[in-house]
Amino acid sequence: MYAMKYMNKQKCVERNEVRNVFKELQIMQGLEHPFLVNLWYSFQDEEDMFMVVDLLLGGDLRYHLQQNVRFQEGTVKLFICELVLALDYLQSRHIIHRDIKPDNILLDEHGHVHITDFNIATMLTKETQVTTIAGTKPYMAPEMFNSTKPIGYSFAVDWWSLGITAYELLRARRPYHIRSNTSTNEIAHVFKTATVMYPAAWSEEMVMLIKKLLETNPDKRFSQLKDIQDFPYLSDVNWNAVLQKRIMPEFIPTKGRLNCDPTFELEEMILESKPLHKKKKRLAKKEKDANKSNSSQVRASRSLFPRDPPIPHPAAPLTVRQPTHTIAFLNLQLGCFCFVLAETFLFYFL
Highest mean pLDDT among 117-131, 150-164, 310-324: 150-164
40 φ, ψ to 5°? Answer: -100, -50
Residues 112 and 83: their CA atoms lie apart, in Å, by: 10
> What does the pLDDT average to over 74-88?
98
Coil, strand, or helix at residue 288? helix
Q: What is the pLDDT of residue 262?
A: 63
Beta strand residue intervals within 270-335, DSSP E: 303-304, 329-330
- What is the Cα 160 distance to its own chain's centre? 16
| pLDDT tier, 292 (very low <50, low <70, confident <90, very high otherwise) | low
Lowest mean pLDDT among 88-102, 182-196, 305-319: 305-319
Q: What is the pLDDT of residue 103?
A: 95
The residue with greater pLDDT, 20 or 341, is 20
Residue pair 161/100 in contact (Cβ under 8 Å)? The answer is yes
Q: What angle do CA 192, 193, 197 make, to 5 degrees?
A: 115
What is the overall mean pLDDT for the chain?
80
Q: What is the pLDDT of residue 130?
A: 86
- pLDDT by residue (tens digit) across 101-137? 999 999 999 999 999 999 899 998 777 788 888 999 9
Please give the radius of gyration of the chain, using alpha carbons only, rounded to the nearest integer. 22
Q: What is the pLDDT of residue 8?
A: 86
99 is catalytic: yes
CATH 1.10.3720.10 assigned to 2-57+296-346? no
Paired with 5 in beta bridges are 51
Domain borders along the chain are 2-57+296-346, 61-243
CATH 1.10.510.10 assigned to 61-243? yes
- pLDDT by residue (tens digit) across 174-214? 999 999 999 988 998 999 999 999 999 999 999 999 999 99
> What does the pLDDT average to over 324-347?
36
From the candidates 48, 54, 99, 117, give the one annotated as an active-site residue.
99
Lowest mean pLDDT among 27-31, 146-150, 263-267: 263-267
Q: At what angle do helices 73-92 and 204-213 cross, to 10 degrees?
A: 30
Paired with 330 in beta bridges are 339
Lowest mean pLDDT among 54-63, 210-219, 334-343: 334-343
Residues 56 and 248: their CA atoms lie apart, in Å, by: 16
- Buried b or exposed e, range 150-176, using 16+ CB within 10 angstroms: eeebbbbbbbbbbbbbbbbbbbeebbb
- pLDDT by residue (tens digit) across 14-58? 888 888 888 888 899 999 999 999 999 888 888 888 889 999 999
Beta strand residue intervals within the chain, DSSP E: 2-8, 39-44, 48-54, 95-96, 105-107, 113-115, 122-123, 303-304, 329-330, 339-340
> What does the pLDDT average to over 259-268?
62
